[in-house]
Amino acid sequence: MGRPAKFTHSLLQAAALALVDREGLAGLSMRALASELGTGAMTLYNYVSQREDIDLLVVEAVIGEARWPLLDYARWQDEVRAIATALWQAVRAHPHAIPLILTRRSRSPAVFEVTEAMLRALARSGRSGQGLLVAFRAVSGLITGLAQAELAGPLALQAAESAELTIARFRALPLDRFAHLIDIANAAADSTADSEFRASLDLLLAGLSAADGGRAR
Amino acid sequence: MGRPAKFTHSLLQAAALALVDREGLAGLSMRALASELGTGAMTLYNYVSQREDIDLLVVEAVIGEARWPLLDYARWQDEVRAIATALWQAVRAHPHAIPLILTRRSRSPAVFEVTEAMLRALARSGRSGQGLLVAFRAVSGLITGLAQAELAGPLALQAAESAELTIARFRALPLDRFAHLIDIANAAADSTADSEFRASLDLLLAGLSAADGGRAR
DNA sequence: ACCTGAACACCGTTCAAGT
DNA sequence: ACCTGAACACCGTTCAAGT
C-alpha cells in the first residue's frame, strides 16, 4: 500500500552536494549522508541502487549549475567561450567535487543539455561529424584538464600549503635542470586560475578559428 | 641493528601497478598489495607513511613510462607533439590507473623531468613566464582532458557496453533537441581515441603557432 | 631498524523483518 | 511500497610487541 516516500531524489542530491562542499569527498559515505537526512544508511537504497549513484547525483548537481547568458552571439567563438566559462565556474565553485567530475561518467539530462548547447555553438564554425567531435573533445578536454591541473598537476598546491611555499619548493630545484619549471612556478604566483583558463581557451579558439572547420578530415 | 630491508620502494611500485592493471583500482588495497608481496598489511608501512602514497607510486610508474625519440626536432611543434603523444600513450597503456593520474598530485622526479622537457619544447615558440605557463596548462590540460573524456565524458562507454549499444542509446534521444549529440555519437563510432587525440592536439598547436608567443600578455 | 598480528573505527551491502 | 536494524566482509591505521 502506498506509503508516501520520505525523501526525494533531488533532496538526496542537495544533501550530498552540501555534504561534499562542507566535509570533502571523504565525508561522503552512505552512513554520513543518511545521518545528514536523519535516517539510517539502508533507507538510501530505496532511492539509489548503489553508492556510485550518489557520486553521479553530485556530478549532475554541479554541472546543472552552469548558466550562461542566452544571447544572440554574433561570433560563435564568443558563444563557445560563454558556455565553457559557465562550466568552468560551476566546477570551480565545488572544488571538493572535482575528482568526481573527472572520473564519473554521467548521463543525466543536465549533462546532455549543456553538451548539446556547446555542440550547437561549435557547429556554427561549419563543423559536423568527426570535425565537430574533435572540436568538442578539445574544448571539454581543456575545461576538465585545467580544473585537473590546479587540483593535481605538478604546480598544484599541497593540501594546506601556501602559494609562497610551493614556489619556494620549486626555487630549491637545480636551476640548470629545471629552469623552465622554475620559470612557470614563478609566473603562477602572479597568475590566477581564471586568467590561465581564459588565456588557454583563447589559444584553442584561435586554433579552431584557423582550421577549415574540420571538413577536410 | 641493521636488518636488511625485505622490499624496496620500486618493488612496491611495480607490484602496485601490476595489481591495478590486473584487478582494477578497487583491487588496490594495502591488504591486497601486501598479500601480493607475500606479507602482512602492516609491513607496507615500513615503506610508505599512508595509503595515499601507494597511489602516488602508481602515478609515478605510469608517467615514468613515457618515452619519445630524442631527436633534433626542426619544428618545436613536432617536439611538443612527440612528448604529448608519449604521455598520452603511457596513460592509455594503463586505463585502470587513469583516475589516479587525474586526481593525485605527484611531485616525483619522473613527473618533473617530463614536465621540464615539455616546457623546453614549448619555450622554443618564444614563450616564457605567463605565456609559457598558459601554453603548458593548455597542452597538459588537453592530454589529461582527452584521457578523461574517454573514461567519463558523455560519450564514454558504459563499463561492459559495446560501442554499438552506446550509439544506439544516443540514437534513441529526441532528434530535435539533441541533433548534434547524436551526430558526434555516430562520428565517434568511426573514430579512434588516438585519431581524436591527434586531431585535437593539432587544433591546439595551430592556436599556439598563430599567437605571438605569449609575450604580449 | 625493520617486521607483524590483534584490535579499532570505519565502509558498502545482504538479509530479513517491519509498516 | 517503503523503511530499517543486525550482520558480514571488507577497509586504513594505531598500538604494542617481536627480531
CA-based nearest distance B2→chain A, Å: 32
The whole-number pLDDT of residue B165 equals 77
Q: Of the candidates B83, B122, B121, which has an alpha carbon nearest to the alpha carbon of residue B213?
A: B122
Using the predicted structure, report yes or no on whether residue A142 has a pLDDT greater than 60. yes
pLDDT band, residue A1 (cuts 50/70/90): very low
Helical packing angle, B129-152 and B109-123, nearest 10°: 120
The whole-number pLDDT of residue B161 equals 66
Say if A207 is an interface residue toward chain B (CB within 8 Å): yes
* Average pLDDT, integer, range A167-195: 88
Say if A186 is an interface residue toward chain B (CB within 8 Å): yes
In strand C, which positions have an atom below 7 A from any protein CB? 1-6, 10-16, 19
The whole-number pLDDT of residue A2 equals 46
CA-based nearest distance A95→chain B, Å: 12
- Amino acid, res. B37: L
Distance A139 CA to C12 C1' (A): 36
Q: What is the average pLDDT value for chain B, to the nearest integer?
A: 90
* Chain A residue whose CA is closest to B102: A148
CA-based nearest distance A186→chain B, Å: 8
The whole-number pLDDT of residue B214 equals 45
* Chain B residue whose CA is closest to A115: B181
The whole-number pLDDT of residue A106 equals 87
* Average pLDDT, integer, range A138-155: 86
Neighbours of A162 (CB within 10 A): 10
Nucleotide nearest to B34 (CA to C1'): C4
| Inter-CA distances, B197 with A187, B86, B143, B193, Å | 28, 12, 8, 6
Say if A62 is an interface residue toward chain B (CB within 8 Å): no
Is A45 within 7 A of strand D by CB distance? yes
pLDDT band, residue A72 (cuts 50/70/90): very high
The whole-number pLDDT of residue B212 equals 60
pLDDT tens-digit map of B179-211: 999 999 999 888 999 999 999 999 999 999 987
Neighbours of B175 (CB within 10 A): 10
Between A156-165, A172-181, A203-212, B142-151, the lowest mean confidence (pLDDT) is in A156-165
Q: Give residues 115 to 154 of A whose Cβ lies within 8 Å of B.
A: 115-116, 119-120, 123, 128-130, 132-138, 140-146, 148-149, 151-154
* Residue of B170 and A205 predicted with greater confidence: A205
The whole-number pLDDT of residue B150 equals 78
Q: Of the candidates B51, B53, B156, which has an alpha carbon nearest to the alpha carbon of residue A102?
A: B156
Using the predicted structure, report yes or no on whether residue B217 has a pLDDT greater than 50. no
Is the Cβ pair A105, B129 closer than 8 Å?
A: no
pTM: 0.92
Identify the helix (H) or strand (E) that includes residue A86.
helix A76-92
* Average pLDDT, integer, range B70-77: 97
Within chain B, residue ranges assigned H as helices are 9-23, 30-36, 51-63, 76-92, 98-103, 109-123, 129-152, 163-171, 179-189, 193-210
pLDDT tens-digit map of A7-28: 999 999 999 999 999 999 999 9
The whole-number pLDDT of residue B160 equals 58
CB < 8 Å to B208, chain A: 203, 207
The whole-number pLDDT of residue B57 equals 96
pLDDT band, residue A169 (cuts 50/70/90): confident
Nucleotide nearest to B44 (CA to C1'): C3
pLDDT band, residue A115 (cuts 50/70/90): very high
d(CA A77, CA A165): 38
* Average pLDDT, integer, range A169-197: 89
CA-based nearest distance A206→chain B, Å: 5
d(CA B64, CA B191): 28
- 3-state SS, A109-176, equals HHHHHHHHHHHHHHHCCCCCHHHHHHHHHHHHHHHHHHHHHHHHCCCCCCCCCCHHHHHHHHHCCCCC
Q: Are B211 and A203 in contact (CB under 8 A)?
A: yes
Q: What is the average pLDDT value for chain A, to the nearest integer?
A: 90
d(CA B106, CA A144): 18
The whole-number pLDDT of residue A63 equals 96
Using the predicted structure, report yes or no on whether residue A133 has a pLDDT greater than 50. yes
Sign of CA dihedral B154, B158, B163, B166: negative
pLDDT tens-digit map of B8-56: 999 999 999 999 999 999 999 999 999 999 999 999 999 999 999 999 9
pLDDT tens-digit map of B107-160: 888 999 999 999 999 999 999 999 999 999 999 989 998 888 878 878 776 655
pLDDT tens-digit map of A35-47: 999 999 999 999 9
| Inter-CA distances, B27 with A213, B35, B39, Å | 44, 12, 16
The whole-number pLDDT of residue A42 equals 95
Is A46 within 7 A of strand D by CB distance? yes
Which residues does A96 contact at the CB level (< 8 Å), separation at least 6? A20, A21, A24, A25
In strand D, which positions have an atom below 7 A from any protein CB? 1-6, 10-16, 19
